[in-house]
Amino acid sequence: MADTRKRVAVLISGRGSNLGALIDAAAASDFPAEITLVISNVPDAAGLDRARQNGISSFVIDHRQYETKAAFEDEIDARLREAAIDLICLAGFMRILSTEFVEAWRDRLLNIHPSLLPMFPGLDTHARALAAGVKEHGASVHFVRAETDQGPVVAQSKVPILADDTPDMLAARVLDAEHRLYPIALKLVAGGKARMVGERVMIDDSEASGGVTAGATAP
């Protein structure tokens, strides 16, 4: 029987903790996706070791070795297409992708962001959440659009903010939530349970559990 699982590439720049969560989830026989390729723009990214330990093809495409952003992205695109990739997951990939690349992979490109989007796009989300005095924080998995952290949300996981929280304490709890959230969101997309209708994500069958809400957006 032909393997019907979606072929997934994960783009990283660092330790690859969310990559590890995706690899672990994809090891289940009923998971609708397999991690078949890992690409890092940082040669010594620790996540590359995780990929190799699991027998996953991995490549370094160092952005500093390319004269233009377009040339860098063309090399990534060529590797993705050579591997017959269906979906891309950004997991701590610290490069902003061009409009051209994002549109070429429209609705096939996911990112995880440490806030309840549309709240706190961009950097330093934990410190900003504490400064704003909000009672909840968390993480979102969304389809990527050209505008940073503005794409339609697939799923979110909420984390309460405690009275004595510091940015580092809050970041650690949000990261734990990310590790639960990303596999759920990928399962929804790869399994065809999350689909785009206009610019909204419709969920046919929620896999929500453990504080994860499928198809949610922050108020």
Handedness of CA 188, 189, 192, 195 (dihedral sign): positive
Question: Which of the four pLDDT bands, split at 50, 70 and 90, describes residue 206?
Answer: low
Q: Please indicate, yes or no, if residue 1 is contained in any of the structural domains.
A: no
113 assigned to active site: yes
pTM for the whole thing? 0.93
166 in a structural domain: yes
Whether 200 maps to a domain, the answer reads yes
- Catalytic residue of the set 63, 113, 126, 179: 113
Q: Which of 51-65, 157-171, 188-202 has the lowest mean pLDDT?
A: 188-202
Domain count, the chain: 1
User: What average pLDDT does this structure show over 13-34?
Assistant: 97
Return mean pLDDT, the chain. Answer: 94
Residue 28 lies in a domain: yes
Residue 149 falls within a domain, yes or no?
Answer: yes
What one-character DSSP code corresponds to residue 162? P
CA atoms of 164 and 120, how far apart (whole Å): 21
At residue 109's C-alpha, the angle toward residues 105 and 111, to 5°, is: 150
Residue 218 pLDDT class (50, 70, 90 cuts):
very low
- Looking at residue 98, its pLDDT comes to 98
Quick: pLDDT tens for 104-142: 999 999 999 999 999 999 999 999 999 999 999 999 999
CB-based contacts of 158: which residues, under 8 Å, 6+ apart?
116, 136, 137, 138, 177, 211, 213
Domain assignment present for 15:
yes
Q: pLDDT category, 208, cuts 50, 70, 90?
A: low
User: CA separation (Å) from 191 to 4, 28, 203, 208?
Assistant: 10, 14, 11, 14
Mean pLDDT of 148-165: 96
Q: Residue range 165-187: average pLDDT?
A: 98
With respect to residue 105, please indicate whether it lies within any of the assigned structural domains. Answer: yes
156 pLDDT more than 50:
yes
pLDDT computed for residue 1 by the predictor: 41
Query: For the residues 70-88, what does the mean pLDDT come to?
Result: 98
Q: Does the pLDDT of residue 85 top 70, yes or no?
A: yes
Segment 54-59 mean pLDDT: 98
Average pLDDT over residues 74-96: 98
Closest CA to 156 of 168, 140, 173: 140
Q: Is the pLDDT of residue 2 over 60?
A: no
**pLDDT of 219:** 33
How far is it, in rounded angstroms, from Cα 90 to Cα 99?
Answer: 15
Task: Quote the pLDDT of residue 213.
Answer: 76
Tell me, what CATH number does 100's domain have? 3.40.50.170
Q: What's the domain range around 42? A: 6-214
- Asked if 192 and 186 count as a contact pair (C-beta separation under 8 A), the reply is no
